Homo-oligomer: A and B are copies of this chain.
Amino acid sequence: MYTNSVLQTDYPWTKTPLVASAPMLNIAMAPLAVSVSAAGGLGFLAGGFDVSALESNLEEAVHLIKQSSAPIQETYASTAVLPIGVGFLNWGADLPKSIAAIEKYRPCAAWLFGPRSIPDDLRPWVEQVRAVTEGKTKIWVQVGTVAEAVAVAEALNPDVLVVQGADAGGHGLAQSASVITLVPEVKDVLTTRQVKNDIPLLAAGGIVDGRGMAASLALGASGVAMGTRFLASSEAKIARGYQDEVLRVSDGGSNTSRSKVYDRARGILSWPVQYDGRGVINKSYIDSAEGGMSDEENRALYKEELKKGDLGWGPNGRLTTYAGTGVGLVKTKLPAGEIITNMIQEAKAILQQLKA
CB neighbours of A144 from chain B (8 A): 253
Question: Which of B1, B146, B184, B205 has a CB less than 8 Å from the CB of A180?
Answer: B205
Q: Is A268 an interface residue (CB 8 A)?
A: no
Copies in the complex: 2
Pairwise interchain contact B211-A253, C-beta atoms closer than 8 A: no
A173 CB contacts on chain B under 8 angstroms: 253
Interface positions, chain A 60-107, Cβ under 8 Å from B, are: none
Does A251 make an interface contact (CB < 8 A)? yes
Bitwise, A125-161 to B at CB < 8 A (1) or not (0) is 0000000000000000000111100000000000000
Closest B residue to A324 by CB, please name it. B181
Q: Mark A178-218, 1 if CB is under 8 A from B, else 0.
A: 11111011001100000000000000011111011011111
Q: Could you say which of A31-39, A239-247, A346-354 contacts chain B?
A: A346-354
Q: Does A254 contact B (CB under 8 A)?
A: yes
| Chain B residue nearest to A250 in the complex (CB) | B146
Given known contacts A188-B329, A214-B354, A257-B175, A167 and B180 CB-to-CB distance under 8 angstroms: yes
Number of interface residues of A (CB under 8 A): 55
Residue A325 interfacial (CB < 8 Å): yes
Is the beta-carbon distance between B180 and A165 smaller than 8 angstroms?
A: yes
Option from B178, B209, B329, B347 in Cβ contact (under 8 Å) with A325: B178
Contacts A/B (CB < 8 Å), 19 sampled = A1-B350, A2-B354, A146-B252, A146-B253, A167-B181, A173-B253, A175-B253, A177-B206, A178-B178, A180-B206, A180-B325, A181-B325, A184-B209, A185-B251, A185-B252, A189-B250, A215-B215, A215-B216, A355-B355
State A207–B183 Cα separation when bound (angstroms): 12
